[in-house]
Amino acid sequence: MARTQVAIIGAGPSGLLLSQLLDLAGIDNVVLERRTRQYVESRIRAGVLEQGTADLLTRAGVDARMKREGIVHDHIGLAFGEREERIDLTAHTGASVIIYGQTEIQHDLFEARAARGGTIVFEAEDVTPLDFDTAAPRVTYRKDGLTHTLDCDVIAGCDGYHGVCRASVPESALKTYELVYPFGWLGVLADPPPVSPHAVTYVSNDRGFALCSMRSMSRSRYYIQCALEDDVAQWSDAAFWDELRRRLPSSLAEPLVTGASIEKSIAPLRSFVAEPMRFGALFLAGDSAHIVPPTGAKGLNLAAADVRVLADALAQFYGEKDSAGLAAYSDRCLRRVWRAERFSWQLTMLTHKFSDDDFNRRMQVAELDYLTSSEAGAKSVAENYTGVALEAAEG
């Protein structure tokens, strides 16, 4: 039987970032991960970082490569019909975003934990949080055919939407809210240079939504709205590029450079929130507690915000013997979460095709026209996209 102060379930970005921050604060922790490092590190995710997330990576000492290779962007694009408009993030908020892939962050965090001798147990099977409603919480797991028990003070559930932590909470103690959207995103990662100088351009078209997203000066990620029942195998590279061109304004369609896909997948879209985010000694963070559609680029940033609040609360608890931060954790996080859900929902409803109703389409175009031509409208988008409006929610 082993003991640690904080048992962290899940070695994704939120789990490793929490582990690093706790270690720097002198708080002992162990990370349990059911997959291999290679599997976790190879997952391709988005990489639009709010300044608050970048600052947290700096605090964790994992910002060197981000500062060298990350691309700072101070504007985003909104396109509809033949119009391609720009919203200046910095002019409206004084903030910007950084393009740096989640895969790179994952690698940086693994390297940082290894350099500090952090304990990460990979291929931990049947991980189970137990007795988190008592003064003696513990986690059991199997490794190499043997069952292990890890005693701890706190369990951090950073194991994602399908993880064991939220599933371990009694249904009577949990309230969930969910909206499943009636479409998905077909995404292609490829090495042609970005089609637009904007880091991200959202496209609303009569045929459906599209997104042009920069990963680097030589790598791009493109998405188109598709039916949930679509199969990736039905979409050849040629068919994808042809459909993307149809949805882009000519200012983007004409200079579009295509190429062989490196990765191609279909992702469903949903909004999901679990309340509360604390159950005794069990604290949920990131996707285990909430999911946002990728439209607003909030998933990783929300997870990082949860981790910051939890790391600070644990430092206060162990350093000052003060549990006020832990008691306020759920309320502080959820206020920010719901603001992010609202923005992601708004942007999703505004840019995607839900029906063939002409009136609804006219309302979308009118709203897009307002947001891109009104100072107040553009500022609202900028405040939410950069996270400035969300930071204020934590109080």
Residues catalogued as catalytic:
73, 202, 294, 298, 385
Question: Which residue from 57, 77, 16 is spatially nearest to 381, judged by alpha carbons?
Answer: 77
User: What is the Cα–Cα distance from 187 to 350, expressed in whole angstroms?
Assistant: 20
DSSP letter at 277? S
From residue 22, alpha-carbon distances to 64, 103, 306 in Å are 20, 22, 14
Q: Are strands 154-157 and 282-284 parallel, antiparallel or unpaired?
A: parallel
- Which amino acid would we find at residue 73? H
DSSP β-ladder status, 71-73 and 97-99: antiparallel
Q: Which string of DSSP letters, residue by residue, matches 211-239? A: EEEESSSS-EEEEEEE-TT--GGG--HHH
Can you spell out the DSSP letters for 171-223? GGG-EEEEEEEEEEEEEEEE-SPPSSSSSEEEEE-TT--EEEEESSSS-EEEE
The residue type found at 261 is S
What the block records as the tokens of 242 is 């042809």
- Dist CA 275 CA 211 (whole Å): 31
Q: Report d(CA 276, CA 283) in Å as an integer.
A: 9
| DSSP string for 294-330 | GGGS-HHHHHHHHHHHHHHHHHHHHHH---HHHHHHH
